[in-house]
Every structure is written in C-alpha cells, then in structure tokens.
Amino acid sequence: TNQLYNPDGLFVDDDQTVVIADYENHRISQWKNGDTTNGQVVAGGKGAGNELRQLNYPTDVLIDKETDSLIICDQRNERVVRWSRLSVIPNIFANATWSKNGVIVAGGNGKGNATNQLNEPFGVFIDDDRIVLIADYLNHRIMQWKTGDMTNGHVVAGGKGQGNRLDQLNCPTDVLIEKETDSLIICDRWNRRVLRWSRRSDTTQGEIFMDNIDCWGLAMDDQRYLYVSDIVKHEVKRYHLGDKDSTLVVGGNDQGNDLNQLKEPRYLFVDRQQNVYVSDWSNHRVLKWNKDAKEGIIVAGGQGVGNALTQLNHPSGLFVDMLGTFYVGDEGNHRIVLWTQGAKQGTVIVGVNRAGPGVNQLSNPIGLSFDRQGNLYVADYGNHRVQRFSLE
C-alpha cells in the first residue's frame, strides 16, 4: 500500500486527500494529506478482471460529492464504474488467518464508567481513520477510542446518566456513522428510538430519527438506506435517511423458525447488492435474505443450539467481506466463526469455546467489525473491553 505502479489520473478532494488511478495495480488508491507512509485501496485491488469488485487498468477517477462515490474510467473493461465511498469493505483474501491473541484497544480496566473503562460493550464500528466507536450499554453512552491511544476514550453521545432526554441514552446496542452529515446513528434500545447525533464538537444532544421501535441492530447500504432490526416484531425494516417511511425487508410474519420468520433478530449486514444478513439470535442461525425475497436462506447454524462447527449459540455481530465470506460473533460459544459461501460448517478464527479474560479468550462476544486493513475488532462484552485481532 506504500507503492504505485504507473499511476495515471488523480483527483484531490476538499480535505486534500489524493485519489489515484493506480493503473497497473488495477486499483484506486487514496492517500490522506500528511500521511505519505501508506495509502488505502478504495476500489479494485483484486487483480485485473471484469467482476464488479475488480478493475482492469483504470485511467481516471473523480468524486461525485452528491452520492459520495468514486466515478472510475475502467479502461480495459470498456466501462465507467460508480464505486461508493460510504462502506469500503476490507481486502481480505481467501484462507486468511488472524492472530489468536488480541490487543486491547478500548477498556480492559475492569467494569466501570471512567473514560478508560467500559460496562458491557455491545455494537462496535470502525471508521476510515480506525477510530473505534462503541455502544457502551450499561454506561448509557457512545465511546470513541482513537487508534494508538489505549489510555482513555472520549464520550461522544450520552454519558449523562440513564434517561430519555435528548442528551441521554438508555442502554444503546448499536452505532454507525452516516458520512454525508458526519453524524452518529444510534439504536437507543430501552428508549425505543433511533437517534441521529452530530459529531461536531459543539453537539450536546441528539435528534429523534424514529421512535416507538424496539431496535437492536443497524446497517446502512451504499444508497444511504438505513436498516433496523426490531426484536419484538421479529423483523427488519429499511428507511431512507431524510424521511420516516419504511419498507419491510425481512420477517414480519410473527416469531418462529420458518424461513420467512425470525425470532429476536439482533445484528445486521447489508452487502452491495442490498442482500441482508441477519443474526437470528433465538433461532441460533444466520439468514441471508436476497433483495426483494419473501424468505431467507440459512447460511450458518440452524442445527439447534450447540458448540459443534455446524452450530451457533445466540449469534450476534455480523460482517461480510468482498468474497462473500461472513464472520459471526458466536456469543454463547465465546468465539468468532468464519463461514465461506455454501459451507456446511464454520471455522473458529478467534476464541477457544470457553469464556475467559486471556488475550486468546472472549466472554460473550457481541459486536464485531473490521478496519480497511482487514484487522478484526470484537466487543468482548463479559470482559468489558474491545480487542483487535490482526490479520496475519
């Protein structure tokens, strides 16, 4: 990532980030102002090819600000490609492995409400600068921890005690960043609402985006549609940011274990094709609902609760990479499991099937995410910390 091979067109955005058509590397690289050490691959980088995840000798690039997308001249494929900047999925190669020992990047100083502590972390989100955002459940706040600073976090929403005022939260379960407005979207679980909270330093309270919803998990697609799981109605709805009209996309057929049903859905992931992955918590399975489908496909678990490699025990956090490999926080089994497309069983990549505080252990892992470099971050709920497991 610190090299180029016959760079061609380039574009400089408003904050002096340089976006480069890296011609013979078949990728678009992004270099931030002041950081000449390493760039970031923001499109392509999967070898020359004509798949939608590939480029073939790109010659030029620009940014479409309205949609926050790259427009790329993909020369040898004889096409122009739009590539969203809203959700850049990391480059994780087939047969990748991660360090078995984690590094604490947030918390890890016992259960508490000091700025160097967490109290049952749930959802975790990693931004482009590897800033870690955490739904700090029982502290009723959203915490931000900067890469390299493991000493103290910073309260960026809530932290005013448990309550329902607009400057308070009540057991938040998930958080993500909406880039266009530079805001946090927060699932404020026991206030039964979703909040938008500006990241500007002078912000003191959020605004209600939707209420009367038993939300748990959040996801956003490349078109800025927000997806919200409802654990009481056993469904997932899609909302367009800017209005409150919704579309039912998953479930809505009461609770159950049929393929058109869910039972207490938790976390979500939406891929570039708007297929929705759902951790169907009380059914101990992960479902994939293709866009506009009337029922889901079991892609992990669904063999009853258990710790065999064919089973899950209350799956939570989800992530899907560019190859369609997905990663599951197997909460009750204290492990993170990788499932490739079409696999009949998973592979444990982190955790040892029993709870514990060791660097190679987890205790009820819930949220998970990846940075652009493919490093894995896990909200280690029972140990009141977030751990990073490096891609090897």
Structural domains in the chain?
7-84 (2.40.10.500), 103-389 (2.120.10.30)
Residue 338 predicted with pLDDT over 90: yes
End-to-end CA distance of the chain: 16
CA separation for the pair 382, 142 (Å, rounded): 18
- Residues 317-345 have a mean pLDDT of 93
Q: What pLDDT sits at residue 272?
A: 79
- Residues 115-137 have a mean pLDDT of 94
CA separation for the pair 195, 294 (Å, rounded): 29
Token pair in block for residue 283: 């059914």
Residue 82, C-beta contacts closer than 8 angstroms, at least 6 positions apart: 64, 67, 69, 70, 71, 72
CA separation for the pair 392, 388 (Å, rounded): 12
Q: Which is more confident, 321 or 56?
A: 56
Q: Which of 136-140, 148-152, 370-374 has the lowest mean pLDDT?
A: 148-152
> Which range has highest mean pLDDT (122-131, 177-186, 251-260)?
251-260
Residue 243 predicted with pLDDT over 80: no
For residue 110, CA distances in Å to 94, 98, 103, 107, 295 come to 36, 26, 15, 7, 43
Q: Give the DSSP H/E element, type plus range, for residue 31.
A: strand 27-31
- Residues 359-382 have a mean pLDDT of 94
CA separation for the pair 343, 57 (Å, rounded): 33
Q: Which is more confident, 2 or 150?
A: 2
Counting Cα atoms < 13 Å in the Cβ hemisphere of 321 gives 26
The percentage of residues in the chain with a pLDDT greater than 90, rounded to a whole number, is: 74
Q: What pLDDT sits at residue 147?
A: 79
Residue 271 DSSP label: -
Among candidates 40, 74, 44, which has minimal Cα distance to 58? 74
Token pair in block for residue 369: 């995410």
Residue 345 predicted with pLDDT over 70: yes
Q: What pLDDT sits at residue 69?
A: 83
CA separation for the pair 339, 23 (Å, rounded): 33
Q: Which is more confident, 130 or 266?
A: 266
- pLDDT tens digits, residue range 286-328? 999 999 999 999 999 999 999 999 999 999 999 998 788 999 9
Residue 38 predicted with pLDDT over 90: no
Token pair in block for residue 177: 């960043």
